[in-house]
Amino acid sequence: MSESKKTRWYKDAVIYQIYPRSFCDSNGDGIGDIRGIISKLDYIKDLGVTAVWLSPCYKSPNDDNGYDISDYRDIMDEFGTLDDWKEMLAGLHERGIKLIMDLVVNHTSDEHEWFKQSRSSVDNPYRDYYFWRKGRGKDGKKPPNNWTSRFGGSAWAYDDATSEWYLHLFTKKQPDLNWDNPKVRKEVHDLVDYWLDLGVDGFRCDVITYISKVAGLPNGKFNPIQCGDEMFTHGPHIHEYLSALNNEVISRYDAMTVGEAAGVTIEQGLLYTAESRGELDMVFEFEHILSEAYFSLLPKKFNLKQYKAIMSKWQDGMHGKGWNSLYLENHDQPRALGRCTGDYGDKRKEASKMLAVALNLLQGTPYIYQGQEIGMTNCDFSPDEYQDVMVKTILGIVKKYVPFLKPVALKVLKKKARDNARTPMQWDGSEKAGFTTGAPWLKINPNHTEINVAEAEKDPTSILNFHKNLNRYRVGNQTVKLGSYRQFDKNNKKIYCYERAHNGKKLLVVCNFKNAEVPFSPPAEYNGFTAAAVIQNYPTARTLSPFSLQPYEAVVFEVDC
Ligand code: GLC
Ligand code: CA
């Protein structure tokens, strides 16, 4: 398909992210699966989303829950079969919902056939599919450089078979692919083509900004926590590799791509997403979740002024040139409630709805992570309840080198652990939350007795019903899709107020981020205009005149001008 025929359907989309392991278990083994997803297709349709991003469902030994792939062309045993997957795809498409698959090609599993071959001998044809180096020091027992894994510790593992080290930016079971080898690029092109040919509508490209490493793999600047970033983030050939992937394969289909891009700046974001360049359609930047590194353990307090400045920078910077992704949650981030709202007390519903309004009326493609639509929250784990390899790696390092810091590490993990977002989906208030009939692979949040889909469906004022209405309002709305963006009162630390304007229509979005009453006056230029409040999270009637916003109140006015 030529660039000009690309429909850019993603600009009208709302995307729902499914983390399959935690979504719905159809056979009682405690692990979510594809038939579980099939049983919820009507729920997804009813939510008013238009596409699904499915976290990895390929064959995997599950060291990092599927982000370690051992066969790119088949489905993980626990999740079902390729036929189940095809049935799911057909079911989505029948309902007018597109499917985005996760593309994890910075690394494979160490159980992938390529790596098994690669590690077997120095002259195996697959040797250069990965990065193998001799160690430093007299006996070669020191890693080849100072790069660290994103999960902590050295990014190199020693392999006895050939007495060399291989690179892994994530766990030891996730060796990095060597994209400088044209055969690796060809393999990736072929597997992308395989899934597009089966009918998928696009890809979320996992840690894609890490695929090109600086030649010679030199030491990175010393940093006590993470080293090497500047040697492999937005590396020397990244744009060349991405445009080849797009030109040779993806652009033959009407498919979209979104790249995970920790640490990306607006300038780099434009290089990746400018339509004229044909690389990616959008990136997930990390600035607004206040975590510039891949994973920042240092808890940063949410600061509305800073958040507004970051969102505004991306809104202005991308307008008319690239395209934004809009997200607060995914399977790697703790839940947004609490993180972006402070202590919300008994105002969970109001706070959750307000966050949705503040984000989803910006320009870009909104992503809703499973459970966000019912206001799921972080979970209180005891140390042995965590399942995430990242948590285990961090606690292992703490135990070995700084055991006295364990209480501090546990305190930080309580807030930051990825397991917070991965607890099973809360379908109902029964013992296993309607997720499984067996023993769930990860703790179910005890608050499922109150926070669950069944309750939310019954309650007209639920977060779920609010999301449904917001999605229906957004999809097809030209002001939201195309309108200009302007922020008001940027120094206000309590209220986020912005305008979207297009073709004689304006939307004024007003959101109170505090669990307190806050006075609000419409911007002066709105004086004399009449407006209708089209979205509200309180029943109180609002007009375009000064009033006191209730805790976490959100109001959207539509103004004809
Ligand atoms: C991405 C995924 C994360 C995974 C990592 C390694 O950041 O979102 O879950 O651990 O890549 O594949
Ligand atoms: Ca199952």
Q: 137 lies in a domain? A: yes
Distance 390 CA to ligand 1 centre (A): 10
Which CATH number characterizes residue 544's domain?
2.60.40.1180
Domain-located, residue 372? yes
- What's the pTM value of the predicted model, to 2 decimals? 0.97
Burial (CB < 10 A; 0-12, 13-18, 19+), residue 506, is buried
Residue 520 is part of which domain span?
483-560
- Strands (E) across 441-549 are located at 484-488, 495-502, 505-512, 518-520, 531-536, 547-549
Verify that 430 and 549 share a domain, yes or no.
Answer: no
Which of 31-45, 216-230, 386-400 is most confident? 31-45
One domain for residues 170 and 277:
no
| pLDDT tens by residue, 361-415 | 999 999 999 999 999 999 999 999 999 999 999 999 999 999 999 999 999 999 8
Range with the poorest average pLDDT among 155-159, 290-294, 323-327, 500-504? 290-294
**Closest C-alpha among 437, 417, 441, 418 to residue 428:** 437
Span 69-103, pLDDT tens digits: 999 999 999 999 999 999 999 999 999 999 999 99
First to last CA, the chain: 40
- Examine residue 447 and state whether it is found in any structural domain, yes or no: yes
Residues 6+ apart with CB under 8 A from 346: none
- The number of the ligand nearest the C-alpha atom of 175 reads 1
* Structure confidence at residue 297 (pLDDT): 62
Domain boundary residue, one of 447, 471, 495? 471
The alpha carbon of 78 and the centre of ligand 2 are apart by a number of angstroms equal to: 6
Task: Tell which residue, 247, 253, 272, has the closest CA to residue 324.
Answer: 272
Whether 125 and 149 share a structural domain: yes
- Integer-rounded Cα Rg, in Å, for the chain is 24
DSSP string, 220-244: PPP-SS---HHHHTT-TTHHHHHHH
| Structure tokens, 156 | 């190199």
Q: Is residue 433 part of a domain?
A: yes
CA distance 310 to 373: 24
504 plus 547 within the same structural domain: yes
Q: State yes or no: pLDDT of 291 exceeds 60.
A: no
3-state SS of 269-297 is: HHHHHCHHHCCCCEEECCHHHCCCCCCCC
- 126 falls within a domain: yes
Tokens linked to 178: 């060597």
- pLDDT at residue 3 in the model: 58
Distance 21 CA to ligand 2 centre (A): 8
The pLDDT of residue 309 is 96
Let me know whether 526 and 460 are in one domain: no
Ligand closest to CA 39: 2
Band (301; pLDDT cuts 50, 70, 90): confident
Is residue 251 a part of any domain in this protein?
no
The answer on pLDDT for 294 being more than 60 is no
Q: What is the CATH number of the domain that holds 114?
A: 3.90.400.10
- Residues 226-243: what's their mean pLDDT? 96
Is any ligand 1 atom within 6 A of the Cβ of residue 332?
A: yes
C-alpha 124/C-alpha 507 separation (Å) is 61
How many domains does the chain fold into? Answer: 3
320 and 354: one domain?
Answer: yes
How deeply is 160 buried, as exposed, middle or buried, from its count of CB atoms within 10 A (0-12, 13-18, 19+)?
exposed
d(CA 117, CA 328): 40
Same domain for 423 and 459, yes or no, is: yes
CB 535 within 8 A of CB 470: yes
510, pLDDT greater than 60: yes
In this structure, the answer to whether residues 435 and 503 fall within a common structural domain is no
360 belongs to a structural domain: yes
Find the mean pLDDT for residues 425-438: 98
How many whole angstroms separate alpha carbon 16 and alpha carbon 54?
8
Q: Is the CB of 421 under 6 A from ligand 1?
A: no
Supply the CATH number for residue 336's domain: 3.20.20.80
104 touches ligand 1 (CB under 6 Å): yes
Domain-embedded: residue 215: no
Q: Which two tokens stand for residue 151?
A: 């999960």
Question: Which atom, in ligand 1's list, is nearest to the CA of 294?
Answer: 7
- Distance (Å, whole) CA 96 – CA 90: 10
Q: Which pLDDT value is given to residue 54?
A: 98
- Catalytic annotation, residues: 206, 260
Percent of the chain with pLDDT over 90: 93
Average of per-residue pLDDT values in the chain? 96
| Nearby residues of 502 by Cβ (< 8 Å), 6 or more positions away | 478, 479, 482, 483, 484
Say which residue the tokens 């006075």 belong to. Answer: 519
